[in-house]
Amino acid sequence: MNFAPHPIPSRTQYVLEAVKHRILTGQLAPGQPLVETELAAQFAVSKTPVREALKTLAGTGLVVMSQYKGATVRTVDAAMAQEVYDVRLLLEPEALRRTVRSGALLEEARDALERADTAADAAERSLANREFHRALYLPCGNPLLSRMLDEVRDQAALVSAVAWATLPSWEREAAEHREILRLALAGEADAAAAGLHDHIASFVRRAFPEGDPS
C-alpha cells in the first residue's frame, strides 16, 4: 500500500504560495480575515483550492481556522514568538554545528547574504534572510532535524515580519549574519553555533522583551 502524500493540485499551490507571500510580506496583517469568496475572486479560482490552501497554511501555523470566525492570519504576540524561537534555539545552533563539521561549502548562504544586501524592499530581504538560515542548517546531515526546522520556518518569518514593521533592525542582524558565516567558513563549529544562538535569542528579546526565551 502506498502512503506517499498526494501532490497539491496546481491551483491550490498557486493560491497557497500567493497567500503565504502576502502574509509574510505584511500585505495581509495578523488577525485579518481570509474570506474564501473574496480570495477566490482575486485569484480567479473556485472556493475549493482556496479552502484547501487555507487548510495547508493553518497546518504550517500561518493561518488560524475557527468555526465561528472562519480563517484569519495568525496574530503574533510574545507567547507565539517564544514558542517558535524556543524550537529554533534548541535545534538550529546544533544543526549549524553539524553543518560546519561536515565541511559544507555554504555557497547558498553566501548567495543569500548578497541578495539580502542588495534587496529592493523588505519583502525581498525577508526572503533572503529565510534562505540564509536554511542554508546553514540544511546540510547538517540529519534530514529529520532539517525537516523539523523547516516546519517552524514560516512562523519564524511571520514573527520577523511583524517585528521589523515596528522595530527595523536589519543592519544589525546582517552584521551578525556575516560574522556567523565567517566563523562557519573558518571551521569554528562551536563558535558559529554560539553566535547563531545569540543572534536568534537577541532578536526575539528586542522584539518581544516580555517573552524572552533565552
What is the tens place of the pLDDT at every residue in 115-141? 998 988 777 888 899 999 999 999 999
Is the pLDDT confidence value at 200 over 60? yes
Band of the pLDDT at 214, cuts 50, 70, 90? very low
64 and 98, same domain (yes or no): no
Inside any domain, residue 56: yes
Instruction: Give the length of the chain.
Output: 214
Can you tell me whether residue 66 is helix, strand or coil?
strand
15 and 107, same domain (yes or no): no
Domain containing 24 equals: 10-73
Q: Structural domain tally of the chain?
A: 2
Inside any domain, residue 4: no
Query: End of a domain among 73, 93, 110?
Result: 73
Q: How far apart are CA 69 and CA 188, in angstroms?
A: 50
Query: End of a domain among 23, 48, 73?
Result: 73
Inside any domain, residue 2: no
32 and 91, same domain (yes or no): no
Is the pLDDT confidence value at 6 over 70? no
| pTM listed for this prediction | 0.84
Angle between helices 170-185 and 107-117 (to 10 degrees): 160
Inside any domain, residue 87: yes
